[in-house]
Structure 1
Amino acid sequence: MGLVIDFRPAQPADYPEIARITRDSYLSAGHFDSAEHPYMQQIQRVAERAEAAQIWVALREGELVGAVTLASYGEPFADIALPGELLMRILVVDPAVQRGGIGRAMVAGVIEVARSLPGIEAVSLSTGDDWTSAHALYRSLGFQRVPERDWTVERETEPKTLAWLRVYRLEV
């Protein structure tokens, strides 16, 4: 029997675990050195994020193992979405269970959600330029690069440097 994941909208009782998984996932991947980084603090405020965007969770045998944020064009968390796109961001899987297909199942769930929404024609996302395993996952699920939409954010380091973000898109 294959991996069985329940994919559903987050509930307020899920928020502390979503915050923990988000923190642990970003820190274990080396994206940030500290949970005190301003962006890390922002993405751990799950209740605030849920007021401005949809948060969905993945459960395996009843245990919350991942989360993802979804936003449509014009919404606060839809920074790069174009009209007709559902933006997928902050996709995290608990580091204790990574590499087991949960991320893939979550992206498949996002695609199904997008297909069910009126007016949504595509799913888009940004991912770090050097996040090669994420690139491979998205390509394997049919996402295409949209290099003309790539963008940068300034890192909070001294000296200031830029982080390149790649944009991927999938027609649904």
Structure 2
Amino acid sequence: MTGVQVRRAEAVDFPKVARLTVAAYEADGQLKGENGYADVLADVVGRAAHGEVLVAVDEAAGDLLGSVTFVLPGSPYAELSGPGEAEFRMLAVDPSAQGRGAGAALVEACVSRAAGLGCSAVVICVRSGFAESAHRLYERRGFVRLPEKDWSPLPGVDLLALRLTLTPLR
């Protein structure tokens, strides 16, 4: 992950984060037939008000490579997390920057943030049948399926639940 820095998004980043997130979801085919989800993805101001929007930046060029939203239970953006768990959502990497480690760096930043807050686990949802590279990334990192928590927000949109148990920091 050399050359990729993760930091909290600043207001000046929000328009780029919005465009990048929608573009990544469109490129992956996840917005076909979706009613309004592109607007949710583009609402970076709303996400930042209820969680932490992180960005991956190319250290040399300064280009924004990707973003993710880190939330805790009770946030309007939390879908699965319960007491003691953290969650991340809307992880997106610019289609032209995929394969450069930005996605892995964003995942690691969320895991580190959760561990630093004393969370026992990180939970996420991934859409069934999409983003196989993301599924592999999460599997390599140690996330495991929780089929009992799979759910569907809309007909035809099946979300798979994944969980990474964290070792307490001492």
The normalised TM-score by structure 2 is 0.90
Q: Which residue of 1 aligns with 2:16?
A: 17
Deviation at 1:30, TM superposition (A): 0.8
Alignment of 1:1-172 (within 5 A): 3-33=2-32, 37-61=35-59, 62-118=62-118, 120-131=119-130, 132-154=132-154, 161-172=155-166
Q: CA deviation at 1:37?
A: 4.2
Distance 1:80 1:99 in 2: 28
Query: Partners in 1 of 2:109 and 2:162 — Cα distance?
Result: 17
Contact residue 31 and residue 37 of structure 2 kept, 8 A: no
Whole-angstrom distance in 1 between the partners of 2:40 and 2:133: 24
Q: Secondary structure in 1 aligned to 2:75?
A: coil
Deviation, structure 1 residue 130: 0.8
Shift of 1:110: 1.2
For 1:11 and 1:100, the matched residues in 2 are separated by 22
Q: Which runs of 4+ in 1 moved over 6 A?
A: none
Alignment partner of 2:29: what SS? Answer: coil
Deviates most, 85-94 or 103-112: 103-112
Name the counterpart of 1:157: none
Report the secondary structure of 2:40's partner residue. helix
Secondary structure of 2:41 counterpart: helix
Aligned length: 163
More displaced stretch, 86-95 vs 126-135? 126-135
